[in-house]
Amino acid sequence: MIPFWLPFAILAAMELEFVVGGIRERRHGAPAHPASRRLPGNDDADLGWVETVDEDGESMLVPAPPRGRRRSRLPLLVVVIVGLALFAYAYRVDRQAGWTSVSASDRARAEKRFTAEAGRIAGRPVKVICDSDYAFTGVGSDAAGIAFIPRGLAYLEPTVCRSLYRVAFEHEVGNRDDTAFAITVLAHEATHLRGVRNEAQTECYALQEGVGLGVRLGLARSTAGALMRAQLDRDLSDETVQRVDYRLPPECINGGSLDLRPDDPSFP
């Protein structure tokens, strides 16, 4: 619900305030500091004091001479222009890469396609909705997808839908990690809708279903297989607390009890 540009603008304003404050201090001089309440000693030699000798030849510490002013290397106008350019670029990239960059009609067409693919995996009529308002995913639940099994309904995070749309309708793989993850999420929620509730088993089945799903979305079988094997490796290496329920069981191997294609030497 928070636009991407809002924290960016706040941080930019804070940085600009620091720059302007520094310029004003250089122009008007730094504010005077209160006088020390004690004479400096040897322990203060690294705090801006220098050692010298008085008329009697005794060692003493005196304040170091003030440093000369340094001219700003980047004029304020240049800083503002660069900041605005970065903001415009980030906004453009976000609009092009986000789910909202897809027209409403194309989003509806994509949801229909995702629904058909999920129904094929689930083996029954289901419905897939891209959660544009983050009511159930992302900010809503810190989940990339969520399935309501009795209702045959699944919600996908908008970034997942955008990656799937890029494959199915723009015929591009894009970021391979994002694409592999998105395919796995759709297959994962579809497997839930088939009636499998255990997260670890569901993830194992999803990795295997993801190969065929990727092919039906337009990927070459070799590409789809490589993406799912890469996702398998990431799942096996992920030991975070958040993913503990998704940790793949020992049976999730070629020829294991969770192998959906025991006669196929490839896995997943």
Domain map (residue ranges) of the chain: 1-23+74-97, 103-246
Q: Flag the least confident range among 8-17, 115-124, 159-168, 239-248.
A: 239-248
Tell me the C-alpha distance between 57 and 89, whole Å.
65
Q: Are 145 and 202 in contact (CB under 8 A)?
A: no
Which is nearest to 264 in space by CA: 196, 223, 208?
A: 208
CA 129 vs CA 55, 57, 155, 264: distances in Å? 87, 86, 5, 33
Q: What is the pTM of this model?
A: 0.68
Q: Are 227 and 214 in contact (CB under 8 A)?
A: yes
Tell me the C-alpha distance between 211 and 176, whole Å.
14
Q: What is the pLDDT of residue 259?
A: 96
Instruction: Name the band, by pLDDT with cuts 50, 70 and 90, for residue 64.
Output: low
Which is nearest to 197 in space by CA: 128, 129, 148?
A: 148
Q: Higher pLDDT residue, 98 or 197? A: 197
Q: N- to C-terminal Cα distance for the chain?
A: 37
**Residues 6 or more apart in contact with residue 198 via CB below 8 angstroms:** none
Beta strands in 107-160 (DSSP E): 127-130, 145-148, 153-156
